[in-house]
A and B are shown apart, each in its own frame.
Chain A
Amino acid sequence: MLKTAYEWLDRRLDITPMWRDIADHEVPEHVNPAHHFSAFIYCFGGLTFFIVVIQILSGMFLTMYYVPDIENAWKSVDYLQNEIAFGHIVRGMHHWGASVSIVMLFLHTLRVFFTGSYKHPREFNWVIGMLLFFTMLGLGFTGYLLPWDNKAYFATKVGIEIAASVPVVGSFIATFLQGGEIVGAQTLARFFALHVFFLPAALLGLMGAHFFLIRKQGISGPL
């Protein structure tokens, strides 16, 4: 049944070569943990991607209940966590996944650094990776405000003060992030927009470029 449906599609769209091109490729021996267990360090990039997929999924579901408004944000989070079935699980996935994704991203960066994989001809992919790193930090920073509890509020205040300490343009960055004179209604709306639209879009675009380049250039050779 599934096979028939696939063949029906394949006859019309010729999709087999497309996924073959994506999925069927040799994993070199030096990055395959089945050959050398220490090659598990090459898994962190893939693990980061896996966590990002979970973040996107759980985040999509959370927005079914969450409201980015100072009157209702905390109440809606409290409601979805305590009164909706599996609410604590879905929010827990997003909450812990946020930390895990940063950890995985960092380990991936360390692996790339210590294996020297960032060197020519892969410098550009390192740059894209750094942009991804800052995008993820941005996602973490903006997401932290959304529950609108004390921790969120003061973390954002501190973050904005730090941004304000940048020479010359600091106060402009701070006002841009804050969206108003205080950390308040406008900040929350703006952080929500950044967190669910702008930064994920940037993240997906950069990830696409990152993956395209690694397939194009191939994984770096053994040490």
Chain B
Amino acid sequence: MSEKENQRKPGMSRRRFLTYTIASTGGFLASGVLFPMIRFAVDPLLQKGTDTKFVDVGPVDEFGESPKKVEFRIHRKDGWYQKEGGEKATAWVLKEGSKILALSPICKHLGCTVKWEGGGFQDQFYCPCHGGLYTKDGVNVPGTPPNAPLDTYAYKVEGGRLLLGPLETRGGGA
């Protein structure tokens, strides 16, 4: 009798059916517990960055052919923390004909801070971490670690004052 029944039922055994049912119910319950936690942990990946507003850094005629360092403040909320008076940011500003170049000091190799004519390198930006070099207009020197030119700040001139905005990546480079 039981043999006959077994022959008539194709496919799935009771044991296998129960295994699948229990495993999928357990999986569903576990995912209900784990989903909120994982979504919680990966939230920084899905958050939008802060909008950067343009910041006044001084009169335009202060800047010339040679890079000049300007320091300004960015107001950014870092989680629950916001620095009073804003975070310090630096730009190396120079005139290139009628255009203005406001270079970010962050090395394109691994993010250290570059300095104009640092480490005794005349007419170049120098990064002390791995010896990266950039020319005056921020283009990386071949044979040194960085593989792209320094980022630039977007800029505006309003009423003779220079305003710096968000960072922009430049293509190309040596």
Q: Determine how close the nearest CB of chain B comes to the CB of A64; give it in whole angstroms.
A: 6
A90 touching B37 in the complex, CB below 8 Å, given contacts A65-B79, A78-B80, A79-B79: yes
Q: Determine how close the nearest CB of chain B comes to the CB of A109; give it in whole angstroms.
A: 25
Query: Which 7 pairs, one residue from A and one from B, show the smallest C-beta to C-beta distance?
Result: A75-B80, A79-B80, A86-B36, A89-B36, A61-B37, A86-B40, A90-B40
Contacts A54-B33, A86-B36 aside, 16 further interface pairs with beta carbons under 8 A come to A57-B34, A61-B40, A61-B41, A64-B40, A64-B41, A65-B79, A75-B80, A76-B79, A76-B80, A78-B80, A79-B79, A84-B40, A84-B43, A85-B43, A86-B43, A89-B40
A79 to B77, CA, bound (A): 11
**Band of interface residues on A:** 20 to 34
Q: Would B39 and A86 count as touching, CB distance under 8 A?
A: yes
Q: Which residue of B lies closest to A87 (CB)?
A: B40
Q: Could you say which residues of chain A place their CB within 8 Å of the CB of B34?
A: 57
Q: Which residue of A lies closest to B42 (CB)?
A: A85
Q: Determine how close the nearest CB of chain B comes to the CB of A149; give it in whole angstroms.
A: 14
A residues contacting B by CB (< 8 A) are: 54, 57-58, 61, 64-65, 67, 72, 75-76, 78-80, 84-87, 89-90, 93
B residues contacting A by CB (< 8 A) are: 33-37, 39-41, 43, 46, 79-81
A64 to B38, CA, bound (A): 11
Partner of B36, one of A65, A75, A78, A90: A90
Q: Would A75 and B81 count as touching, CB distance under 8 A?
A: yes
Q: Which residue of A lies closest to B33 (CB)?
A: A54
Q: Which residue of A lies closest to B79 (CB)?
A: A79
Q: Could you say which residues of chain B place their CB within 8 Å of the CB of A72?
A: 80-81
Q: Which residue of B lies closest to A74 (CB)?
A: B80
- What are 17 A-to-B residue pairs whose CB atoms are below 8 Å? A54-B33, A57-B34, A64-B41, A72-B81, A79-B80, A80-B40, A84-B40, A86-B35, A86-B37, A86-B39, A86-B40, A86-B43, A89-B36, A89-B40, A90-B37, A90-B40, A93-B33
A72 to B79, CA, bound (A): 11
A90 to B42, CA, bound (A): 13
Partner of A85, one of B39, B79, B80, B81: B39
Q: Could you say which residues of chain A place their CB within 8 Å of the CB of B80?
A: 67, 72, 75-76, 78-79
Q: Determine how close the nearest CB of chain B comes to the CB of A162; give it in whole angstroms.
A: 32
